[in-house]
Structure 1
Amino acid sequence: MLVWLSRCLPGFSIIALAAMLVFAFSGLLTSALWLRIFPPSIFPPFEDPWNGLNIAQIVFVIYNVVVHIQMCAFTVRLGWSFTNMIKQTRLALQRRPLEVPITSTGHVETIAGPKMSINKPMDQIDERTPAPELIHAIILPNYCEDLHTLETTLKVLACHPRAKAQYEIYLAMELKEESSMMKAAQLVSAFEDHFLGIHSTFHPPGIQGEIAGKSSNVAFAARSIIEVHRSSLRMDECNVMVTVMDADTHLSRDYFTEIRRLHYNNITEANRAIYCCPIIFDRNSNESPILVRCADLLWSFAGISTMHPYTAIAIPTSVYSLPLSLAERVGGWDSDPTAIGEDLHMLLKCYFETSGNLISRVVYIPASQCNVSSDRGIGWRRTVDTWLARYRQALRHMWGALDSGFAARRTIGYLRFHQRCLFLRPRHFALLHLLWEAHFMPCHLTILMLFSVLYTLWTPAGLLHPTLAWAFGFTNTLRTLAFIGLNISVVLYERWHAICLNSRMKDMHEANIPDTGFSHRIWSRPQHLFERLCLPVSGTIYGAVPTIHAVFSHFWTDRLVYRVSKKPKFVLEELGVL
């Protein structure tokens, strides 16, 4: 019963919000009991702002203002994150010439100069004695993904200088997919000489309590990685970093070297650190419908907003890394239906298993992603199919609202069985706030905004209680300020986008991999200018609506059929290469 109640928390919150609006503004509550608890609104002279308001209306005014203030705070935090992101990304790219070369055995090459501690940052490391390097175990989960998508992703990884000495690739396949073995065999054969190792794992169907999808494939592959490195884990000498990514993700070499720098620079805390990076849609966004493009922008913004300089905890989106020793310590990845949002779920699991002492570090090198695409039909038919595909993807993302229930259960369990109260820590409040912002606020804000607009349209201004009139006017001002703040963030995003895209284009040109797609953003283009008006619309369609869809579905099921979104193919002729 507790599991069901906790997983339905977001749904119950919407019901509670709807009940508050009914109690506050419905004229149907005429019984003496309700009139005693909720007295009718009689507007006296404006001396006491709360006089004449019933309890539900007072709660509505306070909650409506608080939610809108949180919306404004989000845009401020986002702008702050982008300002810092631009600076830190430039610094990270400038560190590339200072990258310490390695030998074929995977050790730091001896360099002339004074010996320095391995605890120093990468741009200060100058070691005379070889030191063991990190092994990157990269999990590439896929289920019904196109072979071309996987090949291109592996080509990008294979062009990294450290790939052959340090990258172990794990193709996390789904056995129920008919072509999975054939795809794995082709990929292993084609790339076995380009990495330290390339392996394939096949998640079997029919395991009780598990579903087909990214989380199950990652969990199964991680168990194989743990077995491969079991001996070093037992001797506490494991130097393996696990990276989980999407099938279409393109990671720069700088992502892994930045993890190495952060790992060695904070070696005493390395066993309880998780590394997250921003995501950027810079491959086919110009060919995507504007609503889809805006939805992906907002999805990227949600993660980036948690990566400001003084964040208590940053939330990973699609791509993240953590030490294998930490993954083994917390029992690996979960693969039950509630872990469908595997990135956030793993962060929460590590957070609670470390008693709230998990450290999240931001890698300021973005992961390049594709927007959802469709190959059905042409013209408006393809556009409509892409809209529907993006909604299915949004529903899968918002199905991750199950993680709020997971966090609630773990918090209650911690209070019951631990002497120290985790709930009273400031960073725990920060984590709960981020969960509220992700799984509660989108639908609450949309409902409050729609109600405020409709109620003020239907009710003559003279009949509004002065406090209600003030609340509606103030929240309208806050919405305007939030819209302006979001547009400022888009301007900052375009500056950061140009830095990242130019760096990736240079890398792909040097590696002779032209078919990865490049989407430039030019602010003066009508399609990019029009985005600024479409962001709130897209946020409602692909944020609030699928959230409401998901959280009410959780009343009767926690299972969602995992459907893979179509990825684009980049034809060389279209790119001007042939």
Structure 2
Amino acid sequence: MLAWLTRCLPGFSIIGLAILLLCAFSDICKSALWKSFFPSNPVHPSKPSPQDGFWSGLNLAQAIFIIYAVLIHCHMLGFTLRLGWSIFSATTSAKQAFNRRIWRSPVQSPQMTGEELIEQPLSPISLASDSSISKKFDDANITVNELQEEELIHAIIIPNYCEDLHTLETTLKVLASHPRAQRHYEIYLAMEQKEASATDKASHLVSMFEKSFLHIRSTFHPTGIPGEIAGKSSNVACAARSIIEIHRPELKMDCCNVVVTVMDADTHLSRDYFSEIRRLHYSHITEADRSLYCCPIIFDRNSHESPALVRCADLLWGFAGLSTMYPGTWISIPTSVYSLPLSMAEKVGGWDADPTAIGEDMHMLLKCYFETAGNVISRVIHVPASQCNVSADGGRGWRRTIDTLFARYRQALRHMWGALDSGFAARRTMSYLRFNQRCLFLRPRHFALLELLWEAHFMPCHLTIIMLFSVIYSNWVPASQLHPSLAWAFSFTDLLRALSFIGMNICLSLYERWHTLCLNTRMQDMREANLPDTGCSQRIWYRPKYLLDRVCFPVAGTVFGAVPTLHAVFAHFWTDRLVYRVSKKPTFNADAVGLE
């Protein structure tokens, strides 16, 4: 019963909001309705005199509505300000990360290739002998201790189910182009056993890339396991169990230097992503065993050919994660791509594969958070992961647009099904109240986490309902019948919405700079690796399609944010299972890179 009640918390909150609106405005609505039918005999509610206080004449429900409406609109404006600060700092940090790769060791070995020279760390001797290099090195916040440590092993899990073979090949080619891939990358193709072509697909990829990485292996999540569902979370859980068994000796000796990275099948990661993990790992070596690394995502491969609503929806999805990655944040929420030490993954019991873990990225962060008593540290890698927008299977013109919109809605529903994580967090918080002497829930960090969960799973529906209600109500009920405090609340929230709209447009302007920087760096890497078919989508801000983004994002946020959230949280009243459907991704040709 407790599990059902907690998983339905977002749905209950919407019902509660509807009851609040009914209690707050039923009398005034009746009065307006009476006036529409009997204009000669209207009924006017009593109004306070100017000498009365702000709350005079309001019932409790109306007072709560005013407070909550103002707070949620202030939070929306705060999100915009936080996002702008995150994008600005992400641009600066990304430049620093990209610049770190250009330093070369003064002593060149004959065995070094050009790529290895770029990635080769400076030796302590050369560092001490060259003051200019030493200054650059200090500016980059890299220590000599880091250079003396051994390299990390990156165990990269690529979950996939019915993914296109070309998509997987391209993803692996991008990883294989990294200078450290042959010596330090272990690839795990996390596949679903029930996929008919899974075995043949895995065999082809292993044979094709066996010399490109330290190891490449395939795992198959079996069907029919009680309590587990098919999907990304179960595939990752199955692969992680294999990784733990392979590295069991190092784990027992407490000398495991393996970092697990989980990514989507269509994600392209820069070599700098793994270099930054290594740098942060050894810069904070005493906290390395409880650090979880996350990065922003950027849709820079096919957005130029995506419908405006789909493009805006993916922008907002990326913004949601990026907004938690500002300097000084208490905790950051990973989106699609994240990394953590294998030792911590083993201590927390690995990945969950039950229905509540469908939002596997956020779920794993929450699991690590509660299993470490709130002591997990989220570190931001300011090197974004390149992603594709959803694309329809085929067709042209308006038919393809409609199919793409429906495909994006299915993807949004899967994303919003992750509202089950709020119930998971509620149950784990209550367990601390019952069994743990340490008051985890009283920490500021815990309140910050709960706020982010509210922002992800409650706020989209609540804000949309309140905005729609405010617009309809203020147009339906004459101003003469409104309580002055209610009239002020509607006017003030209108102002906050206008400021938030302006703020989001400023954020989009900042985003253009960040997007250009990251896209140009990725395309330079792809040219050097001779991989011209990875997709490229520049954003030219003055083009009509990108100007359209600046006015379409509220509609996209409603259609692909609030509506699927409403769909998901009410579906949770009778089921926690969602049939996992893979979103179709585009393929790219070398002569169609999307440059404009």
Q: Sort the TM-score into its range (normalised by shorter chain).
A: over 0.9
Contact 2:88–2:510 (CA under 8 A) maintained in structure 1:
yes
Structure 2 distance, partners of 1:265, 1:99, is: 21
The corresponding residue for 1:77 is 82
Deviations 1:431-475 (A, max 9, x none): 000000000000000000000000001001111100000000000
Do the aligned partners of 2:142 and 2:279 also contact (CA within 8 Å) in 1?
no
Q: Is the 8 A contact 2:28 2:481 kept in 1?
A: no
1:364-379 map, 5 Å: 364-379=382-397
> Of 44, 48, 53, which aligns to 1:44?
48
| 2:81 maps to 1:63 | no
Equivalent residue number for residue 535 of structure 1: 553
The one-letter code of the counterpart of 1:164 is Q
CA deviation map 1:102-124 (0-9, x unaligned): 999999785634689xx999764
| 1:415-430 alignment runs, 5 A limit | 415-430=433-448
In the other structure, the counterpart of 1:23 is 23
Alignment of 1:95-494 (within 5 A): 95-98=100-103, 112-113=125-126, 124-126=142-144, 131-494=149-512
Contact 1:110 1:127 in 2 (8 A): no
1-structure distance, mates of 2:284, 2:379: 10
Judging changes above 3 Å, is the alpha-carbon distance between structure 1 residues 28 and 457 closer, same or farther for their aligned structure 2 residues? closer
Alpha-carbon separation, structure 2, partners of 1:148 and 1:373: 15
- Alignment correspondent of 1:33: none
Q: 1:129 to 1:60 in 2, by over 3 A?
A: closer
* CA separation of 1:128 and 1:500: change in aligned 2, threshold 3 A: closer
Q: Is the 8 A contact 1:108 1:131 kept in 2?
A: no
Give aligned-pair identity as a percent: 68
Cα deviation for residue 378 of structure 1 reads 1.4
Residue identity matched to 1:470: W
Give the SS at the match of 2:19.
Answer: helix
| TM-score, length of structure 1 as denominator length | 0.94
TM-score when normalising by structure 2: 0.92
| CA–CA distance in structure 1, aligned partners of residues 209 and 477 of structure 2 | 68
Contact 1:278/1:366 (8 A) holds in 2:
yes
Check whether the contact 1:113–1:126 (CA below 8 A) recurs between aligned residues.
no
> What amino acid is the match of 2:240?
A
For 1:346 and 1:126, the matched residues in 2 are separated by: 33
Alpha-carbon contact 1:41-1:52 (below 8 Å) kept: no
**Aligned letter for 1:485?**
G
Asked whether the equivalents of residues 112 and 128 of structure 1 are also in contact (C-alpha less than 8 Å), the reply is no
Kept after mapping to 1: 8 A contact 2:145/2:282: no
**Structure 2: runs of 5+ lacking an equivalent:** 31-43, 129-133
Matched-pair contact (CA < 8 Å) for 2:536–2:594? no
Paired with 1:99 and 1:7, the residues of 2 have a C-alpha distance of 53
1:502 corresponds to 2:516: no
Counterpart in the other structure of 1:11: 11
Q: AA paired with 2:74? A: I
Could you tell me how far 1:131 is from its partner in structure 2?
Answer: 3.6
Q: Distance in 2 between matches of 1:311 and 1:469?
A: 36
Q: Distance in 2 between matches of 1:293 and 1:99?
A: 39
Query: Letter of the aligned partner of 1:506 in structure 2?
Result: Q
Contact 1:109 1:130 in 2 (8 A): no
Structure 2 distance, partners of 1:331, 1:248, is: 27
1:42 aligned counterpart, secondary structure: coil
| d(CA) in 1 for partners of 2:234, 2:450 | 26
Quickly say closer, same or farther: Cα 1:340–1:536, change in 2 above 3 A: same
Q: Find the residue that maps to 1:209 and give its secondary structure.
A: coil
Aligned-residue offset at 1:41: 4.9
Cα distance between partner residues in 2 of 1:129 and 1:570: 39
Amino acid at match of 2:8: C
CA distance in 2, matches of 1:317, 1:480: 28
Residue in 1 that maps onto 2:576? 558
Q: State the one-letter code of the partner of 1:301.
A: F
- Is the alpha carbon distance of 1:99 and 1:562 closer, same or farther for their aligned partners in structure 2, counting shifts above 3 Å? farther
CA distance in 2, matches of 1:43, 1:444: 28
Deviation digits for residues 14-69 of structure 1 (CA, Å, limit 9, x no counterpart): 00000000111113999xxxxxxxxx952121321111111111111111101000
Counterparts in 2 of 1:501-520, with a 5 A limit?
501-520=519-538
Against the structure 1 CA distance between its residues 471 and 246, is the aligned structure 2 distance closer, same or farther, given a 3 Å change threshold? same
**What do residues 285-331 of structure 1 show as CA deviations (whole Å, max 9, x unaligned)?**
00000000000000000000001101000100000000000000000
The CA distance in 1 between the partners of 2:311 and 2:368, in whole Å, is: 32
Match of 2:48, SS state, is: coil
For residues 256 and 181 of structure 2, the distance between their equivalents in structure 1, rounded to whole angstroms, comes to 19
- Partner SS for 1:298: helix
Deviations 1:191-213 (A, max 9, x none): 00000000000000000011110
In structure 2, distance between residues paired with 1:242 and 1:128: 20
- Rounded to whole Å, the distance in 2 between the matches of 1:517 and 1:129 is 35
CA distance in 2, matches of 1:108, 1:530: 45
- For the Cα contact (< 8 Å) 2:266–2:388, is it kept in 1? yes
Query: Against the structure 1 CA distance between its residues 62 and 509, is the aligned structure 2 distance closer, same or farther, given a 3 Å change threshold?
Result: same
SS state at 1:322 partner: strand
| Structure 2 Cα separation of the partners of residues 469 and 479 of structure 1 | 16
In 1, Cα distance between equivalents of 2:527 and 2:389 = 22
Describe the shift of the 1:576–1:16 C-alpha distance in structure 2 as closer, same or farther (beyond 3 A).
closer
User: For the aligned residues, what is the CA RMSD?
Assistant: 2.3
Cα gap change, 1:437 to 1:329, in 2 (>3 Å): same
The answer on whether the counterparts of 1:121 and 1:264 sit within 8 Å (CA) in structure 2 is: no
State which drifts further: 91-100 or 202-211.
91-100
After TM superposition, give the deviation of residue 572 of structure 1 in Å: 2.4
CA distance in 1, matches of 2:29, 2:349: 53
Q: Where does residue 58 of structure 2 map in the other structure?
A: 53
Q: Is the 8 A contact 1:95 1:123 kept in 2?
A: no
Q: 1:426 to 1:128 in 2, by over 3 A?
A: closer
Q: 3-state SS of the aligned residue for 1:160?
A: coil
Contact 2:146 2:279 in 1 (8 A): no
Give the Cα separation in 2 of the matches to 1:168 and 1:242.
9
1:401-451 C-alpha deviation (Å, 9 max, x unpaired) = 000000000000011111111110001000000000000000000000000
Name the CA distance, whole Å, in 1 between partners of 2:4 and 2:436: 23
Q: 1:123 to 1:163 in 2, by over 3 A?
A: farther
